[in-house]
Structure 1
Amino acid sequence: MKLTILGTGNAIATRCYNTCFAVQDHGQTLLVDAGGGNEILRRLPATGIAINDLHTMFVTHKHIDHLLGVIWIVRVVTMNMLKGTYDGDFTIYSHDEVVDLITYMSTHLLTGKQAALIGDRLHLIPLKDGESFCGAGHKITVFDIHSTKAKQFGFVMDLGGGRHLTCCGDEPCPKSAEKLAAGSEWMLHEAFCRYCDRETYKPYEKHHSTVKDACELAERLKVPNLILYHTEDHHIADRKALYGAEGRQYYSGRLEIPDDLEGFYILSD
């Protein structure tokens, strides 16, 4: 299985794209979020992912740095459906608030013919806390992170053999989900900034973690592989070294601070 990080930045980052990623396995691709604009249309082909090969998407929440890129994906997919160059259907999973927003945007911003594909070949499926869907050939179970800012889902992907990959969304993993995340083979977790920079970036005021917080969590939950993203963008040139130096003080596993478009190969069934 290949995990490609399409963007690593937080909401107001301009030196890197907003956080989103793709999972490829079993000849299928799952797109998770799409960033805040049409830059997603360039990033996918830059990593070898053809938009016409996308058939499944998951959206964590409605913040604009995760949601607005979705309408560009929907626009191109439905346009290609009408041209006869896209085979099959396209399904987007999320919670009810996001599904309602995507439906509204698609109905009001796309052409009538494109919007008419909703429910026909474009499927917008609302999920509830604890429900599952299939993406990239794997069972994926969603969980509510109980955000106080906007309803948001994370998920746990079954990799087979008792192994899991956990995506915590873009806020700290909640206590209610720690049992699900514990022992995951891989974890994706936000880290707004380093702990030593907390007075500059005020992560706690924005309901975000620092590198120290995320690493302490992963260590406590016995997660052997940790990917940090959704960061500030003022340290892009040396972010790997700086974040890695702080994180390894608190975490003994494999710590990855990816650049945009960086990929990882993960053992799966």
Structure 2
Amino acid sequence: MSLRELVVLGTASQVPTRQRNHNGYLLRWDGEGILFDPGEGTQRQMLMAGVAANDITRICLTHFHGDHCLGVPGVVQRLSLDGVRHRVFAHYPASGRQYFDRLRHACPFHEVAEIHEEPVDRDGPVAAGAFGVLEARRLDHTMEAFGYRLVEPDGRRMVPERLDAFGVTGPAVGELQRNGVLDVDGRTVRVEDVSVPRRGQRFAFVMDTRLCDAVHELAEGVDMLVIEATFLAEDTSLATEYGHMTAAQAGRVAQESGVRQLVLTHFSQRYDEPARFHAEAAEVFDGDIVVAEDLMRIPVPKRRP
């Protein structure tokens, strides 16, 4: 059975608190483990959350502010310390290549893990595989930043009653799925005869940014949107000045973009009532809202019927 869930490692913004570590989010997506924005302390948070270095297949940085990247040295060194044998891909804004190099080689260590860097310099696909397509969009922050979107290809769901009606059983089901057509006792059966369309699942990760077109493009039709809500609406002017969003803006994006589940995170230390973020977003979004907490595990919503 496939596992698709978000493991929340940290939910603070620039300043951590007693309850909130700096950023860090691991998306488990079948065989992939995509670590987004590992901030300071991520390695310890991984231990607390039961996440192993071997779980990581990709590291995705939205930008190079410290609360989103200062955990890279520890994570990179842990990959080698634990002898991770698979290649780990690193995606980050190409304009910050020198910063990634400094983080990756912050101090001497015995490097045995293979990290393959794939800097992002434009909107569009940055990786593809059995998991689908990983895309990036340039955001509007005080320095170059990118948001990410994971799109699984659409497919088809086999209907047991139709398979029985056409006499397709056992290994023949897999053969029909692979080839799209099958001969059953002299009758041609097409995969469309025994299945229904299945929409691929979608996930988006949006951190430090002002409200902009790219935010909507990333959020469009996703099953789970992980998005910053650094400020509340009462501080909208501060959000705009510093290149951030409010919970109300995040909720409006989710509503307008057809998001199924909204995960709010990256909270300013100035607020000590998490329920206010939920209440503000709920005024404009009528879907599922999660106010992220450190070490929380959030399943990706099941597929639509």
**Which stretches in structure 2 are left out of the alignment for 5+ residues?**
154-198
Matched pairs, number? 253
- Does residue 193 (structure 1) correspond to residue 210 (structure 2)? The answer is no
Distance 1:135 1:208, change over 3 A: farther
Q: CA RMSD for the aligned pairs?
A: 2.4
Partner deviation per Cα, 1:90-129 (whole Å, 9 max, x = no partner): 221112133332223434x332753xx6xx8222221232
Distance 1:245 1:73, change over 3 A: same
Partner deviation per Cα, 1:63-88 (whole Å, 9 max, x = no partner): 111111111111222344xxxx3323
User: Which of the numbers 6, 9, 23 marks the counterpart of 1:6?
Assistant: 9
- Give 3-state SS (helix, strand or coil) of 1:23's partner: strand
Report if aligned partners of 1:172, 1:189 keep a CA contact under 8 Å in 2: no
Structure 1 segment 35-184 matched on structure 2, within 5 A: 35=39, 37=40, 39-80=41-82, 85-107=83-105, 109-111=106-108, 113-114=110-111, 121-129=114-122, 130-134=124-128, 137-147=131-141, 149-160=142-153, 161-184=199-222
- Give 3-state SS (helix, strand or coil) of 2:6's partner: strand
Give 4+ residue runs of structure 1 displaced > 4 Å after superposition: none
- Mapped to 1, the partners of 2:302 and 2:108 lie a distance apart of 40
- Mapped to 2, the partners of 1:112 and 1:72 lie a distance apart of 11
Report if aligned partners of 2:58, 2:89 keep a CA contact under 8 Å in 1: yes
Report if aligned partners of 1:60, 1:152 keep a CA contact under 8 Å in 2: yes
- Does residue 32 (structure 1) correspond to residue 25 (structure 2)? The answer is no
What does residue 208 of structure 1 align with?
244
- Does residue 252 (structure 1) correspond to residue 286 (structure 2)? The answer is yes
Q: Give the residue type in structure 1 aligned to 2:80.
A: T
- Mapped to 1, the partners of 2:299 and 2:130 lie a distance apart of 14
Q: Which has more radius of gyration?
A: 2
Distance 1:245 1:178, change over 3 A: closer
- Mapped to 1, the partners of 2:298 and 2:285 lie a distance apart of 19
**Which stretches in structure 1 are left out of the alignment for 5+ residues?**
none
User: Which of the numbers 256, 277, 280 marks the counterpart of 1:243?
Assistant: 277
- Mapped to 2, the partners of 1:56 and 1:214 lie a distance apart of 26
- Does residue 17 (structure 1) correspond to residue 21 (structure 2)? The answer is yes
The share of aligned pairs that are identical, in percent, is: 21
* TM, length-normalised to structure 1: 0.84
Distance 1:56 1:135, change over 3 A: farther
What does residue 158 of structure 2 align with?
none
- Mapped to 2, the partners of 1:190 and 1:180 lie a distance apart of 13
